Structure formats: C-alpha cells, structure tokens
C-alpha cells in the first residue's frame, strides 16, 4: 500500500509496515554543524554512512538494521572575516587590516586611494593574507 505522506516526508519509498519505530536526537559534527538524527528500524539494506556536507567528516557508519536520517538544523559557525579599511596619510594612503583576533596590520606606500583599492584585488594581497593564516 503506497502512502504518499510517508514517502514524501522522511522515509521515501517506505511504507508504515517497513518503519516500525523511531528515535530522534541531535548530533553535532566536529565542524559545529548541528543535525537532527532520526533512527528507525527498516527493511534490510546495505551498510551506509552519513558524511557531513559542510566539512566531509563521517559522522556515522550504520548497518542494515538501522536507517538513520539526518536533517541539518544549523550550519557550522562562520569564521570572522578580516576587515579592510583605507586610510589617508600625509604622504599617501595605507591599508588597515583588522584580523579576526583583533590585531591590526598596516600596509603603506600607496600613492593614492585607487592604488590601495587595486592592491586588495591583486594576487599579492591574497599571498599577504594567506601568509598570516587567513583566506
């Protein structure tokens, strides 16, 4: 017997006779993503696993008797970004980079604001940021 509300929700292709019980819990990945994990016992199937799409970490390898479903509740926290500002000086411009840890570094020697802005879009800027451990 096909029950569309069941196959369109959590258990595609399964009927109520195949799903006998379920347990719901929350699981946090090492990257910080939070999942709702619903385990139910179903008809036999091959062993499988769940891999966090945010970081690629395998959260669980499960057997034929257990058939958990994972639903993302919240993604991993984002790392704070580096804030860039342009500051005029008496003899030109400088770039001020405020890093996520609160540290500020300056890059000086720009003749005008346009040169400072152009540097931000350059490969040299990306190398400068990566050398400090950021992306």
| Residue range 96-112: mean pLDDT, rounded | 89
pLDDT band of residue 75 (cuts 50, 70, 90) is confident
Between 113-120 and 123-131, two packed helices, what is the crossing angle to 10 degrees? 70
Locus of tokens 């499988």: 48
Residues 6 or more apart in contact with residue 28 via CB below 8 angstroms: 34, 35
pLDDT value for 4 = 38
Picking from 46, 73, 75, the residue whose alpha carbon sits closest to that of residue 62 is 46
Question: pTM here?
Answer: 0.44
Q: Which residue has the higher pLDDT, 41 or 93?
A: 93
pLDDT value for 6 = 38
- 97: tokens are 């980079």
């Amino acid at each position: 017997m096909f029950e569309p509300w069941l196959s369109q929700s959590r258990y595609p292709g399964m009927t109520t006779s195949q799903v006998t019980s379920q347990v719901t819990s929350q699981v946090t990945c090492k990257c910080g993503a939070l999942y709702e994990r619903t385990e139910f016992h179903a008809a036999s199937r091959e062993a499988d696993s769940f891999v966090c799409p945010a970081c690629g970490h395998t959260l669980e390898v499960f057997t034929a008797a257990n058939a958990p479903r994972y639903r993302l509740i919240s993604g991993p926290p984002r790392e704070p970004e580096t804030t860039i500002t342009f500051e005029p000086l008496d003899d030109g411009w400088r770039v001020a980079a405020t890093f996520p840890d609160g540290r500020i570094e300056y890059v000086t020697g720009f003749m005008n604001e346009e040169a400072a802005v152009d540097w931000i879009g350059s490969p040299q800027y990306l190398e400068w940021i990566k050398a400090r451990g950021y992306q």
